[in-house]
């Protein structure tokens, strides 16, 4: 059974950069605290001032997150230091709130984000992940999936893929390691060039979607197939580029290509 993070209400939604991050002391269940300076494109966001989910900047004008964190057509704002960026968000057209299928959303900023961030790369190659692959899960969520307390600081850690997505829009499942916790939803699942050095070349292969507390299983939405097409079409419609999807993108973090 996959559990959801709290659903946002129709209040102001603000995504906050690491320079503004504050709050709890421990996050992703089983993970290690991360230096936010190494993850400047990873944002936490708040609805009506309350922490809700995690998101990631993946291009000069683009943010990716989980669809279940947002109402469709959401307008939001990113705050990085004293700079503010207005966003319009789009959910995958086949997203299902009951099953969390196609649990991906993209948000567009008319103004470019700072080019010193190092936008994260997406990897949509179908064969990139297999059973036994080790993923690095990152997010601003809680530390303990049972007590669900202490949100707000960035934690991450590794888990092993034991099941691939059985059909389009469904989930990769991981165990034997960290488990995502409410608030980590919308954060990214990475493949790393070196498992003990998450700051090394890395690429996002999926979005944190849900978890099963009893079995400590995480559900990750892979960025392949129909979701990859959604990402490309979304970018084309807005005449923008995304790291890892387009070849002419500037200011991206080092990409991991095995």
- Any idea which residue has 């994260």 for tokens? 120
pLDDT of 251 above 80: yes
The pair of three-digit structure tokens given for residue 199, joined into one six-digit string: 């700051």
CATH assignment of 126-222, given 2.30.40.10, 2.40.10.10, 3.40.50.1980, 3.40.50.2300?
2.40.10.10
Rounded CA-CA distance 10/74 in Å is 8
Q: What is the pLDDT of residue 33?
A: 86
Burial classification of residue 110, based on how many CB atoms lie within 10 Å of its CB (0-12 exposed, 13-18 middle, 19 or more buried): exposed
Q: Are 244 and 235 in contact (CB under 8 A)?
A: no
- In this structure, how many other beta carbons lie within 10 angstroms of the beta carbon of residue 196? 7
- Pairing state between β 134-139 and 105-109: unpaired
Q: What is the pLDDT of residue 201?
A: 95
Q: What is the pLDDT of residue 144?
A: 58
Topology given in CATH for the domain delimited by 13-23+39-119+226-237: Thrombin, subunit H (2.40.10)
CA distances from 79 to 13, 58, 63, 187 (A): 11, 16, 13, 17
Q: Are 218 and 188 in contact (CB under 8 A)?
A: no
Q: What is the pLDDT of residue 235?
A: 98
Of 218, 195, 197, nearest to 207 (Cα)?
A: 218
Predicted TM-score (pTM) above 0.85: yes
Confidence of residue 212 (pLDDT cuts 50, 70, 90): confident
Instruction: Please state the domain extents for the chain.
Output: 13-23+39-119+226-237, 126-222
CA distances from 150 to 61, 181, 207, 216 (A): 31, 11, 21, 18
Q: What is the pLDDT of residue 196?
A: 77
Q: What is the pLDDT of residue 147?
A: 46
* Span of 29-43, 95-109, 212-226 with lowest mean pLDDT: 29-43
pLDDT of 9 above 80: no
| Per-residue pLDDT reduced to its tens digit, 85-103 | 999 999 999 999 999 999 9
Q: What is the mean pLDDT of residues 186-208?
A: 93
Report the percent of the chain where pLDDT is more than 90: 60
Q: What is the pLDDT of residue 199?
A: 87
Confidence of residue 52 (pLDDT cuts 50, 70, 90): confident
pLDDT of 11 above 80: no
| Intrachain domains 13-23+39-119+226-237 and 126-222 with the same fold | yes
């Amino acid at each position: 059974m996959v559990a959801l993070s709290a659903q946002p209400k129709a209040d102001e939604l603000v995504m906050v950069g690491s320079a503004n991050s504050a709050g709890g002391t421990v996050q992703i269940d089983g993970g290690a605290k991360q230096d936010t300076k190494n993850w400047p494109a990873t944002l936490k966001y708040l609805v009506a001032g309350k922490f809700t989910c995690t998101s990631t900047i993946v291009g000069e004008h683009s943010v990716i997150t989980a669809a279940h964190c947002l109402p469709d057509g959401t307008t939001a704002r990113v705050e990085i230091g004293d700079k503010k960026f207005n966003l319009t968000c789009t959910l995958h057209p086949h997203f299902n709130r009951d099953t969390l299928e196609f649990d991906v959303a993209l948000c567009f900023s008319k103004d470019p984000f700072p080019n010193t961030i190092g936008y994260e790369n997406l990897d949509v190659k179908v064969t990139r992940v297999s059973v036994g692959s080790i993923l690095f899960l990152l997010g601003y969520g809680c530390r303990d999936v049972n007590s669900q307390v202490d949100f707000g600081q960035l934690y991450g850690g590794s888990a092993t893929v034991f099941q691939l997505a059985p059909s389009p829009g469904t989930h990769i499942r991981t165990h034997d390691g960290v488990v995502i916790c409410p608030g980590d939803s919308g954060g990214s699942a990475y493949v790393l060039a070196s498992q003990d050095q998450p700051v090394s070349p890395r690429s996002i292969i999926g979005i944190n979607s849900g978890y099963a507390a009893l079995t400590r299983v995480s559900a990750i939405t892979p960025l392949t197939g129909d979701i990859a097409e959604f990402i490309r079409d979304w970018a084309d419609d807005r005449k923008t580029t995304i790291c890892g999807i387009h070849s002419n993108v500037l200011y991206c973090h080092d990409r991991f290509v095995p």
